[in-house]
Amino acid sequence: MSHVVSQSVERRVVITGMGLVSPLGLTLDDLWTNLVEGRSAVVPLESFPCSGLPLTHAAEARCFTGHIDDFGTLPAECKKAIRKGLKVMCRESQMAVAAAQRALHDGGFEPGAHEPERFGCVFGSDYMLTLPEDFTASVAACRDGDGQFAFGQWAEHGLPLLNPLWLLKYLPNMPASHIAIYNDLRGPSNSITIREASGHLAIGEATMTIQRGAADIMLAGSTGTRIHPMKTVHALQNEQVATGNGSLPPTAWSRPFDKARTGMVLGEGAAVLVLEDLEHARRRGARIHGEVIGHAARAATRHDAVNARREVLAMAMRQALAGAGVVADEVGHIHAQGLSTVAGDREEAAAISDVFAVSTASIPTVAAKGHFGNLGAGSGIVECIGSLLAMQRGELFPLLNHETTDPDCPVRPACRGDAPGEVFLSSAVTPQGQAGSVVIRGWKAT
**In the predicted model, is pLDDT for residue 132 greater than 50?**
yes
Q: 249 Cβ partners below 8 Å, 6+ apart?
A: none
Quote the mean pLDDT of the chain. 94
Say what the pLDDT of residue 303 is. Answer: 74
Q: 157 φ, ψ to 5°?
A: -110, -30
Q: 58 φ, ψ to 5°?
A: -160, 175
Say what the pLDDT of residue 333 is. Answer: 98
In whole angstroms, give the CA distance from residue 238 to residue 195. 14
**In the predicted model, is pLDDT for residue 376 greater than 90?**
yes
Predicted confidence (pLDDT) per residue in 4-40, tens digit: 555 556 899 999 999 999 999 999 999 999 999 999 9
Say what the pLDDT of residue 1 is. Answer: 45
- Domains of the chain, first to last: 13-131+166-442 (3.40.47.10)
What's the mean pLDDT in 390-415?
96
Say what the pLDDT of residue 41 is. Answer: 98
In whole angstroms, give the CA distance from residue 113 to residue 118. 12
**In the predicted model, is pLDDT for residue 245 greater than 90?**
no
What's the mean pLDDT in 313-333?
97
